[in-house]
Structure 1
């Protein structure tokens, strides 16, 4: 029995800043990084034509257990900020992408939850979580684009 090769990651992803009305932000720590790699929810499309809002809701559910897809009470709180970042993929993760792919397009979303919630993490992906006021959360992020997105939160949380 042969297994099919793992498909290449699609170089289009979402970043979802999960926050409370008080602008506290949920950060999760990556399991596959050597350093304190704190971040918001991120993830790539599963298929090229997957709508970005579905990618965002799926990744939030997979990484935190928070349900915000269509038909859930939080669906209206998942907001596409209509912003995107294009960044160079870290060399250690480029093997996940097709040969020659060096950049990713990341679409920014916000998800407002009514209060700080306890997430359910997949230990293969993330090892810890914490809520921080948004400026402290931005300072704690490993990724500069993630930090910049968090600093935009007051503008988009109105």
Structure 2
């Protein structure tokens, strides 16, 4: 499958469309084929598509969001999330006595922990899809604090799920989506 990211690829798709339709006895002008390709790409017309697909300009692309979780003590937050297998990527303070901001990662999940007032809201829930939630549950349960023993809800609406809460009321909801 070819991904259309520029004008030349879109024009090639229009030529291929004309050729395939012609082989089936359907005649189509090149202009009409360009309009159809533009519509398939989600644009209003060929002029709009060609302007947005101009060489050297890629359309905007959203990336995975990074949740910002409010913590009162970054060291305590980092210690808790390290128990869940997260590793520190970087940390930042503007000055030694100012709030700490950290970025953590485990596999494809990236979280920011912030001591800054106004960053995040304590009690935030982050839904995390997991390939094998039972294996993750078995891995994490022995590591968690004695008072936190999350059960595995087999009948949760999104699929088998368990939730872990950090010391500041934020929750990671691990779920194995169906299908």
TM-score greater than 0.5 by the shorter chain: no
Whichever of the two has the greater Rg, that structure is 2
Structure having the higher helix fraction is 2
Structure having the higher strand fraction is 1
Between 1 and 2, higher relative CO (CA 8 Å, sep ≥ 6) is seen in 1
TM range (shorter): under 0.3
**TM-score, length basis structure 1:** 0.26
**TM-score, length basis structure 2:** 0.24
